[in-house]
Structure 1
């Protein structure tokens, strides 16, 4: 079996991540992570509609979150659930980047490691298979870090012509069944 996706892309940079992040992203086993998140969603009707179409989490503080990582040859499936509202994505590697297929959207991220943090920067976005020009596509500079034995995540998403659409932040611990 080939190495996990993040190891394929980061190589030795993966070793610079804290052990908890390595456990989450440099393993071949099925994992369940649970925690709490704070979610802010724009009050702009277009931003709200975009979040609904993508089935992204609803606004809230201290929202229960579960993420299940399932890995198989050549791809990973992530099932994220925020307060009972779930969305699934499939990740694969193409052209040295992570390709995430999520409903009608395809996100292409560049991965990097800086100061012990995992960074995921959105470089391309396609909706219904159509690539959007840079002035129109979402911006996302997500990060993960380890703090006191927990995975701390921050996922801000904005669109140039709408501003901040959604941001979810929080922490999780591994809680396999």
Structure 2
């Protein structure tokens, strides 16, 4: 059985660093612990957008990601302190679809310079399409630094500025049990 990201990336999956491969190749339930830094934008509309998408508040400290993965989809709950940010990822005809609250993002995935890049292709809110150009400043990177899995996610919108920028690391070599809900 091929994991979701392996199926989406095909041969490019092998070009990812080992820690990124391990995170995305695993199936089943697991929890990864790490550290995260979250910076939030100050614009009033940024706060509203973050609330709708359930994006994390400003934060610095220990964090966890609970993942439940099959070959068809992945359910992630990113935990920044007391804030839980659930999402569901699955294959879409145009790439990788992620659902965050009432938002549905479709990302194009690409491997460049040993980094997995996520770029927005389309966005829907409550099923209604939003102009893709609004989301040119939204993306993510996954990479390895000093043998550790790292992530860097940024969301910047025109005229509003930064919604959220979060980054950090996870210990993908020591998954821990996932607690009961």
TM-score, scaled to structure 2: 0.90
| Cα separation, 1, equivalents of 2:150 and 2:56 | 17
| Cα separation, 2, equivalents of 1:107 and 1:157 | 12
Structure 2 counterpart of 1:100, from 92, 98, 109: 98
| Cα separation, 1, equivalents of 2:104 and 2:137 | 13
- Partner in structure 1 of residue 76 of structure 2: 78
- The answer to whether the 8 A contact 2:4-2:71 is kept is no
Equivalent residues in 2 for 1:19-168 (5 A)?
A: 19-60=18-59, 62-137=60-135, 139-168=137-166
| Cα separation, 1, equivalents of 2:71 and 2:14 | 22
Instruction: List alignment gaps of at least 5 residues for structure 1.
Output: none
Cα-Cα RMSD: 1.5
- Partner in structure 1 of residue 9 of structure 2: 10
| Cα separation, 2, equivalents of 1:137 and 1:115 | 23
Q: 1:105 to 1:137 in 2, by over 3 A?
A: same
The alpha-carbon deviation at position 35 of structure 1 amounts to 1.1
The alpha-carbon deviation at position 72 of structure 1 amounts to 2.6
| Cα separation, 2, equivalents of 1:146 and 1:73 | 24
| Cα separation, 1, equivalents of 2:135 and 2:15 | 31
Q: 1:29 to 1:148 in 2, by over 3 A?
A: farther
The alpha-carbon deviation at position 138 of structure 1 amounts to 6.3
TM-score, scaled to structure 1: 0.92
